[in-house]
Structure 1
Amino acid sequence: MTVTSADVPSERPTVLIADDEAALTDSMAVWLSDDYRVRTAYTGHEALSEFDPSVDVVLLDRHMPGLSGERVMKRLNESDASPKVALLTATSTDDFGPEVEDLGFDTHLTKPISRDELLDAVSALSSQSEPAQR
């Protein structure tokens, strides 16, 4: 599902939110929709379907059924695109092993996340990314 506001110009960065907690995903989409083009996915497989080179920032839940955020990140690493990716997690980063650290996430966000934390993180990530193909 794509939650793109017609009022958001196409030159705005595109953010893909992938999290199996639908209420959280939808809330984050609303928070971001004034400043970004937003796509949502509720599974890892949907995240891969919604992803294309126009995506600038990906917010990726670590634990999703079927295809975890870590496995999605491996697939993103194999693509020609280079979005900035934040790992969404409800656990401490102390629980991350080298297999997670080595995947190349640009940052991590610990849930629950506030609107201001989300906006700050996405702003920082989108300013670091090269403009995606539109």
Structure 2
Amino acid sequence: MESILIVDDDVNLCKVLSEELSEVGYEVNYVNNGFEALDFLKKKSVDLMLLDLKMPGIDGFEVLKEMEFRDLKAKVIVLTAYADVKSVIDSAKMGANDFLSKPYDFDELLITIRKVLQKE
């Protein structure tokens, strides 16, 4: 079973998205900030991370930088309400595999997740 870590400070979104993804067969965990995400990734590997950019503490860009620095492996889809061209380009340069904006369409998200997970 493929595993997904949701990293978002919106607890309600995490719960809903976690339930939706669990129902289609993914093992899902979530954390509510960048510090928790990095701690989680040190202890357990995941196949994919859904990462918000704007969070208190350290933001999604910092998480991407720290993942690179600490050699923490996971494919990343940025899922944010703050979608602009600069954020898309910057997150791709930092290793994100794809980028979707909120509010998300679940079918589109699922297609993107499957596409990213199939890439080698």
TM-score range, shorter chain: 0.7 to 0.9
- Poorly superposed stretches of 4+, deviation over 4 Å: none
Aligned to 1:50: 40
Instruction: Give the superposition deviation at 1:98.
Output: 5.7
Question: Which has the higher relative contact order, 1 or 2, with Cα contacts under 8 A spaced 6 or more apart?
Answer: 1
Point out the structure with the larger helix share: 2
For 1:96, the aligned partner's letter is S
Counterpart-to-counterpart distance in 2, 1:87 and 1:19: 10
Aligned counterpart in structure 2 of residue 112 of structure 1, from 93, 97, 103? 103
Report sequence identity in percent: 33
Counterpart-to-counterpart distance in 2, 1:97 and 1:114: 18
Counterpart-to-counterpart distance in 1, 2:61 and 2:83: 15
Residues 56 and 90 from structure 1, CA distance in 2 versus in 1: closer, same or farther, beyond 3 angstroms? Answer: same
Unaligned runs of 5+ in 1: 1-11, 130-134
Unaligned runs of 5+ in 2: none
Aligned to 1:73: 64
- Structure 1 residue 22 corresponds to structure 2 residue 14: no
Alpha-carbon deviations, 1:77-118, whole Å to 9, x = none?
123343110111212332428644421211101000022122
CA RMSD of aligned residues (A): 1.9
Aligned to 1:86: 77
TM-score, length-normalised on structure 2?
0.86
- How many residues matched? 118
Higher Cα radius of gyration: 1
Secondary structure (helix, strand or coil) at the match of 1:51 reads helix
TM-score, length-normalised on structure 1?
0.78
